[in-house]
Structure formats: structure tokens, C-alpha cells
């Protein structure tokens, strides 16, 4: 279990910028598309794994062909997941710059850095949107491969309708003063300490206290399924 503590982000009321709509829109868009792409690739991997396992136990040339096809699809899903993670990490760094320089005085060096970060964030958003379309296409391919090996029963919904596989859950633990507002992926979840269950993938936690706002993007995985975010105001 890996615990990450945002202890360095101690004061919520000093040198905090008011987030503009550009930053908010970009942050929410890349978070949602990244999560959706990750879930689609996970589903494709599971479906192809089931198909490969079933085909391996069958005899005949057709079964061997289905086995190879399922394995190839699973490998493609794994490769796309690595590529998505790489872009997500770049996006995370870019979003940090947006939050750092948002609200800088016009004409300043910080304002120029903010403008560059906005352009970089838009490129990241486009890249993740393209990856989402590719992930959904691969999931549809995986469903077709799966159903060719394991035909769905007439009394059961198709895999896409059954939303299979169900996403695994992780936990966000927030420790913060009682007057601190906590938001997760743009939605308010309460104030003070929070225990939030989330699907695995990329998320964003934001805390607000007075005029101060801080945020952190994080990823929940089977290996790292708990993220701890601690806010410690200075004395």
C-alpha cells in the first residue's frame, strides 16, 4: 500500500490563485476522458483474456486462430494502456503548471508560462481524446472476439449492456480541518476528513479553505488502491 501525503501544501490561504474556467474545464475534461479510456482498455483486456483461455481448451484450426486473435488484442490493450499512462503523467505535470501560474499578472513571466501551459494542456486533452476513441474501438473488437468464442446466452444481456467487467474500486482518504471543503473530480464531497470510494484510474482531489485552493491528481491501481491526501494548516 502506497501512501502519498501532500504535507508540503500546508497553507491554504497564502499565495493561492482563484481558478479560472479554462483551467477547470481542461482539468475536468482530461480527467474524465482518461478515466473512460482506462476503463475501456481494462474491459478489453479482461474480455480477450477470457476468450483466449476458452479458445486454448478447444481443438481445431479455428480455435487456434481465435486464441491468437484474442492474445493479439490483449497485447494491444496493454500497449495502449502504457501509452495512456505516459500521456496522463505529462498531463499531470502540465496541470500543476496551470494551477501554479493561474492568476499571474498580465505581462509577467508567470503569465507567459501560464499561456504556454494552457497550449500544452490542450494538446494533452486532444491526445487523450484520441486515445479514448481508440480504446472504445478496441473494446468493441474485444467484445466481438469474446462473443465469437463464448457466445452470449439468449437470456443474458450482451457484455456492453451488462457493463462488464465492473470497475475495481480504490479509496481516497482526506485529512483536513473541519472548515475545509473537499472536491473530487470537480464534485463537492463534503468538508473536513473524507473517505471516498472511487473507480481505479486517474482522479483529482481539490481542497478549498477561505480564499485558498489546492489540488492533486492521483491514480488508483490494483497495486496502489489507496491515496492519502493530508492538509496541515500552519500554526
With 0-12 / 13-18 / 19 or more C-beta atoms within 10 angstroms meaning exposed / middle / buried, residue 181 is middle
* Residue 183 to residue 231: CA distance in whole angstroms: 13
Angle between helices 21-56 and 61-101 (to 10 degrees): 160
From residue 163, alpha-carbon distances to 44, 47, 78 in Å are 12, 12, 20
Number of CB atoms found within 10 A of residue 56's CB: 14
Q: Which of 145, 125, 126 is nearest to 137 (CA)?
A: 145
pTM (predicted TM-score): 0.56
Range of lowest pLDDT (8-12, 97-101, 193-197): 8-12
Q: Is the pLDDT of residue 233 over 70?
A: no
If DSSP codes are grouped into helix, strand and coil, which group holds residue 134?
A: helix
The torsion defined by the Cα of 163, 41, 86 and 24, in degrees rounded to 10, comes to -30
Longest CA–CA span in the chain (Å) reads 73
- C-alpha Rg value of the chain to the nearest Å: 21
Give residue-wise pLDDT tens across range 87-139: 888 887 887 787 778 777 888 888 888 888 888 888 888 888 899 899 999 99
Q: Is the pLDDT of residue 85 over 60?
A: yes
The pairing of beta strand 226-230 with beta strand 169-175: parallel
Block residue for cell numbers 469474446: 146
Give residue-wise pLDDT tens across range 200-222: 888 889 999 888 888 888 888 88
Residues 6+ apart with CB under 8 A from 212: 11, 12, 13, 14, 16
The pairing of beta strand 187-191 with beta strand 181-184: antiparallel
Give residue-wise pLDDT tens across range 21-39: 666 666 777 778 888 888 8
109 alpha-carbon distance from chain centroid: 31
Phi, psi of 225 (to 5 degrees): -100, 15
Burial of 11-29, coded b for 16+ CB within 10 Å and e otherwise, reads ebeeebbebeeebeebbeb
Give residue-wise pLDDT tens across range 35-68: 888 888 888 888 888 888 888 878 778 878 888 8
Amino acid at each position: 500500500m502506497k501512501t502519498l501525503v501532500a504535507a508540503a501544501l500546508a497553507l491554504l490561504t497564502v499565495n493561492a490563485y482563484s481558478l479560472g474556467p479554462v483551467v477547470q474545464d481542461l482539468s475536468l475534461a482530461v480527467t474524465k476522458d482518461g478515466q473512460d479510456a482506462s476503463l475501456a482498455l481494462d474491459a478489453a483486456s479482461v474480455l480477450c483474456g477470457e476468450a483466449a483461455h476458452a479458445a486454448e481448451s478447444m481443438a481445431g484450426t479455428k480455435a487456434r486462430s481465435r486464441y491468437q486473435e484474442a492474445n493479439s488484442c490483449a497485447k494491444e490493450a496493454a500497449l495502449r494502456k502504457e501509452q495512456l499512462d505516459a500521456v496522463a503523467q505529462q498531463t499531470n505535470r502540465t496541470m500543476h503548471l496551470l494551477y501554479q501560474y493561474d492568476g499571474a499578472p498580465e505581462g509577467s513571466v508567470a503569465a507567459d508560462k501560464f499561456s504556454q501551459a494552457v497550449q500544452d494542456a490542450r494538446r494533452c486533452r486532444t491526445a487523450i481524446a484520441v486515445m479514448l476513441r481508440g480504446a472504445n474501438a478496441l473494446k468493441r473488437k474485444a467484445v466481438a472476439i469474446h462473443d465469437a468464442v463464448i457466445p452470449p446466452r439468449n437470456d443474458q444481456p450482451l457484455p456492453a449492456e451488462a457493463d462488464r467487467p465492473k470497475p475495481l474500486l480504490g479509496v481516497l482518504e482526506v485529512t483536513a480541518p473541519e472548515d475545509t471543503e473537499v472536491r473530487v473530480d470537480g464534485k463537492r464531497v463534503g468538508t473536513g476528513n473524507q473517505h471516498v470510494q472511487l473507480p481505479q484510474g486517474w482522479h483529482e482531489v481539490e481542497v478549498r479553505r477561505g480564499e485558498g485552493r489546492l489540488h492533486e491528481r492521483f491514480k488508483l491501481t490494483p497495486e496502489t488502491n489507496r491515496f492519502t491526501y493530508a492538509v496541515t494548516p500552519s500554526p
